[in-house]
Structure 1
Amino acid sequence: MPDDAKAEVKDSSRRSKERLRRAAGVGVDYSDRGDTRRRWRVLISTAEIDLAEKLAYVLDQPLPTSLDVDATVDQLLALQKHKDDSILASCIILAAMTPELQKQHEHLDTYDIVYHLHELFDKQARSEKFEMNNLELTIPKMINMLNTVESSVKGEQKTVILVDSSKKSSKRKQKISSTHFLTLAYPYRYDAHRYHRAPRASPPQRYLGPTGADFLLPRRSPSCSLTLLRHDFADTYGRPPASAPYAPPPGCPPPWDRVVLDLSVACAGEQYDRIAAVWLDGAEILRTSTAEPSEAGVFWRVRKDVTRYDALLRRQEGGVVSMMLENIVNDEFTGVYHVNVSLDFYIEDGEEPRFRPRSMLPTSDEESITQEQTIFGASKPLLPPKIGFSSFKSGSIENNAKVAPFPPKPSDLIIPISSADSQNGFWFRIKNEADVHFKSVQIPGNTYWAVLEIYVSYHSNDEFWYSNPPNSYILKNNLTTGRGNGSFREVFATIDGSFVSSIVPFPVIFTGGINPLFWEPVVALGAFNLPSYNIVLTPFLGLLLDGKSHDIGVGVTDGISFWLIDANLHIWLDPLSTYVTAQLVQYQAPRTSISRKSKLNLLNGKFKIKAQRESRFLGWVSSSFGNLTTDVDQKLKFKSLVNFTDDGAKKGVYMQAKLKTTVRIGEGPNTLLTQVTYKSKYPLMFVSSTLSGVNNTYTMKTYLSHILSEKTTVLIDKVETFSSIRDHQDADGWMLVQDHSVLAGSAGTQQTYHYEDDHSSYLRKVIARDGLVLSDTTTASSSSSSS
């Protein structure tokens, strides 16, 4: 910082009025960039002398880029402080501008505002200097505002905004009230319906869920297509799911090479985001959420590989397809979701190997936009089907009996672990940790492999579970919110009440969450296709194959109301045996180790959680494939930081979950036939700062970084293959909010998706700002050719 600027910042409050006159552009020449920055230092210093010196660095230092996945807590806090200081400085600068200039600069941080102003006025050589002379404020008015600011400084008010109070839409200085604090402390679902950039006459806008590589889906035309359900979800709250009969398509009977579910949705009007699911005979095949529409309308498409549900799809007796989407339509919320669900069936024609991604990768932007597919769960250890996605040919396993427990085909039977009360959807509604739901099942005697697939979503007080403070913080400050119980959650599965596995769910953010302007038109990771999680139950077949019924249960550690969870039990049957024998040899399942540290000072607080669990299950199954032992080893690690500062006006959240699952199949203690290792890591970080305004409004500025990283390695016959994905979103922006409705704002989102395996590499990068896609680029490569 130049010495003369430092001197100005450190001047006494006695000279504040003169500095404000200079800020108005009286008799000062700002012909170079250094003077431009000095001028804004002066303006900042009028808010509070001591604060000015702390903020001055944001004028010279651009905001750091996103941090690495393994960033330290100190680095995260430093980034949070820089962003918070930039928020305050930019608010003060924007407040001194005309509305026209505010619109041009409201989406920029402080450093970029100063840079842009220098470029703008250097180019246009304007004598009025930032149009300050055109403000509706007079110099006496501005001096009067300064007097108000100085008195508030003496009263130790920490948050100050300078705005012309004579304007209709103005904000005034005000301490953070408890109501506004709660909005920051517990991120609500927001409704952006009152603020949309596109006029009503504009055409409907396409929304994107660019998580997933399109080449994992067939690119050729389907052999046949079948419409499952068409329905307009209007005022459907409290009503049963929409249902329709299902039967396999007569034009192309099984076996099918691939089956792809195609969901198309359109909506116009005012509406919140909604959760939805599709079931076939009570077995969930898709969990999704909706975009928040505009008056002009929005539409989107989700394509998902549902080949793993072949056991349900090929049943000649057919079944019932159901979809739940609880929506409310009234005078205020007018949006009706128009939904079409169909299936595309692909018969193997030799063009692409069964259960293997094509080597010919899409490169056109249109293809990458219209064929949206998330591979959440595709690289998780479903374990038989996942092997089919690796690089060896589909017939290689079928010709080797010793590794038959990893067949490259879907399961032979699927048993829904879901609610019998379909009137409220087939999912279980879990209200707290003790609310464990289960279903009694009896599996066939010739079962040789079993996988439990779990669908999860979180709502109401636990929608943002990863940012919840402990209950002590709520009680200490006499807060009325129910969003507590800390920031750790663990979804677990049980057999007859005994623990068998657990996961920390990936934190999907719905389109009304944190800042809805982030998700226009690129939605958050997994929002259109929520992940499912796969648990290998083969070691427990010794318990299940006794001819009796057993309870398969699901629950949430530390959970509060409410969670929607159900599961599918995938069963593989021995075609040459009526009965197989099995035994559980080792059961090692210690409780999750949880460490909690808290520092509490009224509305300020820092809360850290570390959790870990290691479990191991080993059992053998004797079938026509031989006597094979399955060893499942799982390690889970979790850490979290929730930090409140400035009497709750600023909040920083950081969490990271790691999961490593290794499945080994051997013949005897010393012969390893197959090994699959799955690793996942998903850090989430966001920082928010809130400034209150008039008429129960407040301005919130937020930065968010979200990453999904997965890698699967497969070892068969001493040959190792791998696949990996890394999906990364960064978003930043601000919004003016009143009663959960977004009145104004600006936001930008950047997403980078990278998929890689032994033969292919795929990279997609999407940049969006203020509701528009600025760029969408795709690059792909392959080491082999395909027809």
Structure 2
Amino acid sequence: MLSKSWWGSLAVAGLACFACAAFATGSSEPSSVGSSNVTTADPAVPRPPGKPCVVELFQNDAFTDFSNHPFSYTPPSGCGTHWSKVVLEADFSVSAGRQFDRTASLWLGGVNLYFGTTEEPSATVAPSWHVERDLTDYTALFRHAGQGQAVLGNIVNDTYTGVIHGSAKLLFYPASIFAPSGQVPDAVYPLGSDPVGSTVSLNDPTSQLAKTLNLPRNVERAYLDVFAQSQNADEFWYTCVPDQYASEVQSCGGGNFREAEVSIDGQPAGVAPIYPWIYTGGIDPYLWRPVTGVQTLNFTPYRVDLTPFAGELSDGAPHTVAVSVAGAANYFSATASLLVYLDPHAKQVTGTVTRNTLVGQPPVPTVDDTLKTDTSGNVSGDITTRLSRHFVIEGYANTSHGRVDTTVKQTVGFADTQNFTLNTTTYRQQIDQLTSMDGTSTSRIGRFVTNEYSQHRRYPLHLDYDQQVASDGSAGITTTVHQGYEQKVAQRFGGLTLYSASVHNTVDTSDTLNYDSGGHFTGHGGQQSAQTFAFHDSLGGCYRGHVTSAGGVVTGDSSGKGCPGGDNHVEWFTHPDGSPGYGRSLLGW
């Protein structure tokens, strides 16, 4: 039961208890045990009560080449223009055979609706999978008709035979007394140059995804949703080493530090840590059948708070918002969307940035090593890469509510240690990497704190690649991977915690590839994997999912274990998948 202090806090934030209809899934859901199809422990997007209006974007399209698939969008009829929630649902499949993992993205009016990759098939398994994304914060985009497209390049020939099919639709849940519409951005601006939508390739650290915008003169808050996906030579960036070591340890060069940098008019404005996604063909394809890596099929954007710049963005002059990737070495595929809240009671907001300590802190890591090479050419030792930056960005905006001062404080960290053992029978590379971010965004009117949002993120990665050569020349390559995604968020107002939540998503997998003395692949063994997804929040919400596999078959699939009553139970307006969402927990101005 909510305490009286909680009730008051929720009412202030527009989350009174009548709006707390829950979304529940329980152990009665069908089990996937025995299946070879894609199985993950990820939660679905929770839904409000009521029947949604559905707009189909495309149905059962076949992706057999690199042509884009256009579609037309018309707002739903009979649901008004204010919705409690907007959800994208997409379903994909690939026929049995041979096929690479492919990158898939969906777009409307230049704005990204979905970004992820596909599952690789096998000769006997034709996988299918379902993805969802909460797009409520993009409501302004959906109030008008527009053109969109699905981008999913694929090759089908005598060698690569897997045909990919896909369908997608938008679900609009009408606002009601039980599920009121929340405060959402008033405008959404894509940074890409394609008017329908496409990613931009960032080939090196100087490449930019950039857009010069003339924004309204009454911007009071601004956020940037950023995706940066590693491709080509950068696909396995987390396994690479600085150039000076590449030859000695027989690894890719370019270093193993990557980070997205956000700028406004050339001035550093924020940082977006990059997740080390591993696709279903990555390192050893059997690692990811049928349990995929963290977010592999459905990436989550990182949201950068640009509110300290609101006063400057409102000055009527053109402003260039840009994203680059520090360390990019061919290449990252990037997209970003600027979400803007306007002051409805002011024609002109003024203000400026008063402090920015990110300026003058370039993203240049330090590198140390303990490598030793003996007289026989055997190599052993570590290469360690580290970077830690703390920065503060402050700015104010003169709004109809008075002068609002916003402070964004963040500490971003990167630590990577790679241990190498190279000799005549062994090539072993062990990677321990941790990307971290701790930050707080605070807004004040005078001495009164109107809003405080904090977040804590950790992206741990452990990868052990162990190649052993036997005396007869045959070889085995055992790969073990641990991926994690950890997030804690809290929203405070007037010293009271309105809401807090945590997400923990881990995948552990291993497999051994076997080769004969001629280097021919003879099979694999020992495949096993496990994913655990856990969410809980201060409203009593709880989600637990756990799935295991061995030999490419699901051996365990549980849902709700560890939650009260053994059932998953989350409020419809929450984000149990860890996706960003500020609007509902902020004041109604």
When normalised by structure 1's length, the TM-score is: 0.63
Distance 2:237 2:112 in 1: 24
Name the aligned partner's letter for residue 435 of structure 1: S
Q: CA shift at 1:232, angstroms?
A: 3.5
Please provide the CA RMSD for this pair.
Answer: 2.6
What does 1:9-88 correspond to in 2, within 5 Å?
Answer: none
SS at match of 1:722: strand
Distance 1:339 1:751 in 2: 25
* Number of residue equivalences: 520
Greater gyration radius:
1
| Residue from 403, 417, 432 that aligns with 1:641 | 417
Query: Do residues 504 (structure 1) and 273 (structure 2) align?
Result: yes
What does 1:725-736 correspond to in 2, within 5 Å?
Answer: 725-736=503-514
Name the aligned partner's letter for residue 753 of structure 1: F
Q: CA shift at 1:221, angstroms?
A: 6.4
Q: 1:409 to 1:697 in 2, by over 3 A?
A: farther
Name the aligned partner's letter for residue 466 of structure 1: Y
Q: Which has the higher contact order (CA 8 A, sep 6+)?
A: 2
Name the aligned partner's letter for residue 482 of structure 2: S
Deviations along 1:415-443, one digit per CA (max 9) or x if unpaired, are 10013386xx6211011112223111111
Distance 1:569 1:236 in 2: 31
Q: Which residue of 2 aligns with 1:763?
A: 544
Distance 1:555 1:337 in 2: 31
Distance 2:530 2:35 in 1: 22
Q: 1:351 to 1:541 in 2, by over 3 A?
A: closer
Indicate if the aligned counterparts of 2:504 and 2:534 stay in contact, CA closer than 8 A.
yes
Q: Which residue of 1 aligns with 2:154?
A: 327
Name the aligned partner's letter for residue 745 of structure 1: G
Query: Do residues 419 (structure 1) and 248 (structure 2) align?
Result: no
Q: CA shift at 1:592, angstroms?
A: 3.5
Q: 1:292 to 1:695 in 2, by over 3 A?
A: farther
Distance 1:696 1:426 in 2: 47
Q: Which residue of 1 aligns with 2:23?
A: none
Name the aligned partner's letter for residue 432 of structure 1: D
| Residue from 138, 161, 172 that aligns with 1:309 | 138
Q: Which residue of 1 aligns with 2:564?
A: 781
Q: 1:415 to 1:694 in 2, by over 3 A?
A: farther
SS at match of 1:543: helix
What does 1:321-470 correspond to in 2, within 5 Å?
Answer: 321-352=148-179, 408-420=182-194, 426-470=198-242
Indicate if the aligned counterparts of 1:262 and 1:302 stay in contact, CA closer than 8 A.
yes
SS at match of 2:370: strand
Unpaired runs of 5+ residues, structure 1, are: 1-202, 355-407
Indicate if the aligned counterparts of 1:517 and 1:745 stay in contact, CA closer than 8 A.
no
Name the aligned partner's letter for residue 416 of structure 1: P
Indicate if the aligned counterparts of 1:233 and 1:325 stay in contact, CA closer than 8 A.
no
Indicate if the aligned counterparts of 1:205 and 1:297 stay in contact, CA closer than 8 A.
no
Indicate if the aligned counterparts of 1:222 and 1:344 stay in contact, CA closer than 8 A.
no
Q: CA shift at 1:558, angstroms?
A: 1.3
Indicate if the aligned counterparts of 2:211 and 2:321 stay in contact, CA closer than 8 A.
yes
Unpaired runs of 5+ residues, structure 2, are: 1-33, 573-589
Name the aligned partner's letter for residue 598 of structure 1: D
Q: Which residue of 1 aligns with 2:362?
A: 591
Q: CA shift at 1:322, angstroms?
A: 1.1
Name the aligned partner's letter for residue 210 of structure 1: A
Name the aligned partner's letter for residue 503 of structure 2: I
Q: 1:678 to 1:651 in 2, by over 3 A?
A: same
Query: Do residues 558 (structure 1) and 335 (structure 2) align?
Result: no
Say which structure is richer in helix. Answer: 1
Indicate if the aligned counterparts of 1:760 and 1:781 stay in contact, CA closer than 8 A.
no
User: Identity percentage over the alignment?
Assistant: 26
Query: Do residues 209 (structure 1) and 36 (structure 2) align?
Result: no
Q: CA shift at 1:621, angstroms?
A: 1.0
Name the aligned partner's letter for residue 209 of structure 1: T
Name the aligned partner's letter for residue 208 of structure 1: T
Distance 2:88 2:477 in 1: 38
Q: 1:515 to 1:336 in 2, by over 3 A?
A: same
Q: 1:259 to 1:784 in 2, by over 3 A?
A: closer
Q: 1:683 to 1:604 in 2, by over 3 A?
A: same
Distance 1:665 1:412 in 2: 19
Indicate if the aligned counterparts of 2:500 and 2:537 stay in contact, CA closer than 8 A.
yes
Distance 2:289 2:107 in 1: 28
Q: CA shift at 1:413, angstroms?
A: 0.5
Indicate if the aligned counterparts of 1:267 and 1:336 stay in contact, CA closer than 8 A.
yes
Distance 1:717 1:421 in 2: 42
Indicate if the aligned counterparts of 1:413 and 1:570 stay in contact, CA closer than 8 A.
yes
What does 1:197-276 correspond to in 2, within 5 Å?
Answer: 205-211=36-42, 213-214=43-44, 216-218=45-47, 222-230=51-59, 232-237=61-66, 239=67, 241-268=68-95, 269-276=97-104
Name the aligned partner's letter for residue 274 of structure 1: R
When normalised by structure 2's length, the TM-score is: 0.83
Name the aligned partner's letter for residue 658 of structure 1: S
| Residue from 479, 487, 504 that aligns with 1:702 | 479
Indicate if the aligned counterparts of 1:690 and 1:700 stay in contact, CA closer than 8 A.
yes
Q: CA shift at 1:545, angstroms?
A: 2.1
Distance 2:472 2:180 in 1: 62
Indicate if the aligned counterparts of 2:35 and 2:554 stay in contact, CA closer than 8 A.
no
Q: Which residue of 2 aligns with 1:50?
A: none
Q: CA shift at 1:228, angstroms?
A: 0.3
Name the aligned partner's letter for residue 183 of structure 2: K
Q: CA shift at 1:644, angstroms?
A: 1.4
Say which structure is richer in strand. Answer: 2
Q: Which residue of 1 aligns with 2:399?
A: 623
